[in-house]
């Protein structure tokens, strides 16, 4: 097991208020692992034996219905935690985590959590903050799904992805990991067909440039305008 350099993670929200020597102790309990592109990190319903801190790459968390339909819960960016089932008192993972790019994560055994938060209460407070923020974001997503049309929801989704994992280009922002029409559909509650039609339209208007699992926002501001447009204030 490789030693983890504290300086790489010390600034993360998870460790806010944790003293350097404590951080080292915390990291000693972790191991790190590499996940190749498209490999599963854990499966929905499996025993929640570990929780994770993503160091490199990108991870998709998805939830599947009994009938096989999926939604994307979120994309995890480097520096974020995932698989925190134990923090919420769940014995099993509520979603599946897949590395969408070659990824590296720190891994703690779930069993270590109670001891860790007892010794380092900041961890609990910080995690509460994180989970609370995600709850807010979920509510926003519900609000959008309830009140907005598909095109606006797709616009919001892309803007969020760009903010979280956007790579600045000379002219535009590229989403920095492979993402398909289907993925976006599963983030916005629609079908890949509808997403494809929307992106085709945007491409013709010069708002985006996209291809196989690749999206570049050529005119982010124009997409913001779309995202905020009221349902009927229509284009041609």
Min dist. Cβ of residue 81 to a copy of itself (A): 12
Looking at the Cβ atoms of 84 and 106, the one nearer to a copy of itself is 84
* Angle of helix 220-228 versus helix 150-165 axis, rounded to 10: 140
Looking at the Cβ atoms of 60 and 141, the one nearer to a copy of itself is 141
Give the x/- contact pattern for DNA in 164-193, rule: CB under 7 A: ----------------xxx------xxxxx
Looking at the Cβ atoms of 117 and 216, the one nearer to a copy of itself is 117
CB-based burial label for 13 (10 Å; 0-12, 13-18, 19+): middle
Min dist. Cβ of residue 148 to a copy of itself (A): 9
Q: 122 is written with which tokens?
A: 């900041």
CB under 8 Å to 21, separation ≥6 — which residues?
none
Give the x/- contact pattern for DNA in 53-92, rule: CB under 7 A: ----------------------------------------
Q: What residues line the site for DNA (CB under 7 A)?
A: 149-151, 180-182, 189-194, 196-197, 199-200, 203, 210-213, 231
């Amino acid at each position: 097991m490789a030693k983890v350099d504290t300086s790489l993670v010390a600034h993360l929200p998870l460790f806010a208020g944790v003293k350097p020597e404590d951080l080292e102790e915390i990291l000693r309990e972790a191991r790190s692992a590499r996940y190749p592109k498209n490999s599963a990190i854990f499966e929905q319903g499996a025993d929640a034996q570990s929780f994770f801190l993503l160091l490199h790459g990108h991870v998709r968390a998805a939830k599947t219905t009994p009938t096989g339909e999926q939604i994307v819960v979120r994309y995890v960016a480097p520096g974020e935690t995932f698989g925190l089932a134990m923090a919420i008192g769940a014995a099993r993972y509520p979603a599946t985590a897949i590395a969408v790019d070659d990824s590296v994560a720190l891994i703690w055994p779930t069993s270590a959590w109670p001891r860790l938060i007892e010794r380092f209460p900041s961890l609990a407070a910080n995690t509460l903050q994180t989970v609370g923020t995600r709850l807010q974001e979920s509510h926003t997503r519900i609000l959008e799904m309830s009140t907005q049309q598909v095109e606006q929801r797709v616009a919001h989704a892309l803007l969020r992805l760009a903010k979280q994992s956007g790579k600045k280009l000379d002219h535009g922002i590229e989403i920095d990991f492979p993402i398909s029409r289907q993925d976006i559909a599963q983030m916005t509650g629609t079908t890949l067909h509808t997403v494809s039609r929307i992106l085709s339209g945007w491409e013709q208007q010069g708002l985006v440039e996209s291809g196989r699992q690749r999206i570049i926002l050529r005119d982010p501001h124009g997409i913001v305008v779309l995202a905020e447009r009221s349902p009927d204030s229509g284009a041609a």
